[in-house]
């Protein structure tokens, strides 16, 4: 893969889903709450849709990083 191909790969963008979290009367917004997985989801032999979405996004980030860092391979 040449350097032009590396630069043409699109950086993955995480979807933002607004979630309001309230504690002690204070509200905060977490746009990436959907990425949190419970222990049950992490340990499940059959991943649910949320788990698949999170893993797909993380794998896309890893692929992007690997391609961007290709020039540093020895």
| CA dist., res. 29 & res. 14, Å (int) | 16
> What tokens appear for 4 in the block?
């032009």
Q: Is residue 6 part of a domain?
A: no
Structurally, the chain folds into a number of domains equal to: 1
Task: Domain of residue 62: give its range.
Answer: 39-74
Q: Is residue 58 part of a domain?
A: yes
Read off φ and ψ for residue 37, nearest 5 degrees: -120, 140
Q: Is residue 22 part of a domain?
A: no
Q: Is residue 53 part of a domain?
A: yes
pLDDT (0 to 100) of residue 73: 83
| CA dist., res. 38 & res. 30, Å (int) | 16
Tens digits of per-residue pLDDT, 21-67? 999 999 999 999 999 999 999 999 999 999 999 999 999 999 999 99
> What tokens appear for 66 in the block?
């690997």
The H-or-E segment that residue 28 falls in is strand 26-29
Q: Is residue 61 part of a domain?
A: yes
Q: Is residue 66 part of a domain?
A: yes
Q: Which residues contact 58 (CB under 8 A, 6 or more apart)?
A: none
Q: Is residue 24 part of a domain?
A: no
Q: Is residue 49 part of a domain?
A: yes
Single pTM value for the model: 0.78
């Amino acid at each position: 893969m040449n350097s032009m191909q590396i630069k043409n790969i699109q950086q993955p963008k995480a979807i933002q889903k607004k979630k309001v979290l309230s504690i002690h009367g204070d509200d905060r917004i977490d746009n990436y709450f959907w990425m949190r997985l419970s222990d049950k989801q992490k340990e499940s032999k059959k991943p649910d849709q949320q788990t698949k979405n999170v893993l797909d996004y993380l794998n896309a980030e890893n692929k992007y990083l690997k391609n961007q860092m290709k020039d540093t391979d020895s």
